């Protein structure tokens, strides 16, 4: 978890400075994405549920740091690059679950706006113009 916090701290610093991009590299001959689930599993104590929630939040925060980072991130790989499919699948799942409520709210708001636009005279006129254009293309 220390490495994840250090990477998050570095990205937060880079987000606020005048750098144009971030370059990630590794020391050694293999680059790994860094999410070692075995490390997390070994840290589970008697309160597995509490530790699992903490684990999921930590990984979700780590992945979200990359998602929300606005500058380009370049990864310099010297040798084989390893990313386990399970890591990608779990990361995607964690982010999707963490953001589910936000995405649903955004979808609801978007639907309301679309209903208002499509229900207006201007919206209906735009739809009819589009359909007429498609008919004229034939």
pLDDT at 57: 81
Question: What are the tens digits of pLDDT across the range 3-25?
Answer: 788 889 999 999 999 999 998 87
pLDDT at 81: 63
Concatenating the DSSP letter of every residue in the chain gives: -HHHHHHHHHHHHHHHSS-S-EEEE-SSS-EE----HHHHHHT--S-HHHHHHHHHHHHHHHHHHHHH--S-EEEE-SS-EE--HHHHHHHHHHHHHHHHHHHHHHHHHHHHHHHHHHHSHHHHHHHHHHHHHHHHH-
pLDDT average, residue stretch 110-120 = 79
Q: Average model confidence (pLDDT) for the chain?
A: 76
Q: Domains in the chain, start-ordered, CATH in brackets?
A: 2-99 (3.90.226.10)
Single pTM value for the model: 0.51
Q: Is the pLDDT assigned to residue 65 strictly greater than 70?
A: yes
């Amino acid at each position: 978890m220390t490495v994840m916090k250090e990477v998050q701290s570095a990205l937060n610093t880079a987000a606020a400075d005048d750098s144009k991009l971030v370059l990630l590299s590794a020391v050694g001959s293999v680059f790994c994405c860094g999410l070692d689930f075995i490390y997390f599993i070994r840290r589970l104590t008697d309160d597995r549920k509490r530790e699992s929630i903490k684990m999921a939040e930590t990984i979700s925060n780590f992945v979200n740091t990359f998602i929300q980072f606005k500058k380009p991130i370049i990864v310099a790989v010297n040798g084989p690059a390893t990313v386990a499919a399970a890591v990608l699948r779990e990361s995607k799942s964690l982010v999707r679950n963490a953001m589910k409520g936000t995405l649903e709210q955004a979808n609801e708001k978007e639907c309301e706006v679309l209903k208002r636009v499509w229900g207006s005279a201007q919206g209906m006129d735009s739809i009819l113009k589009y359909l007429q254009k498609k008919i004229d293309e034939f």
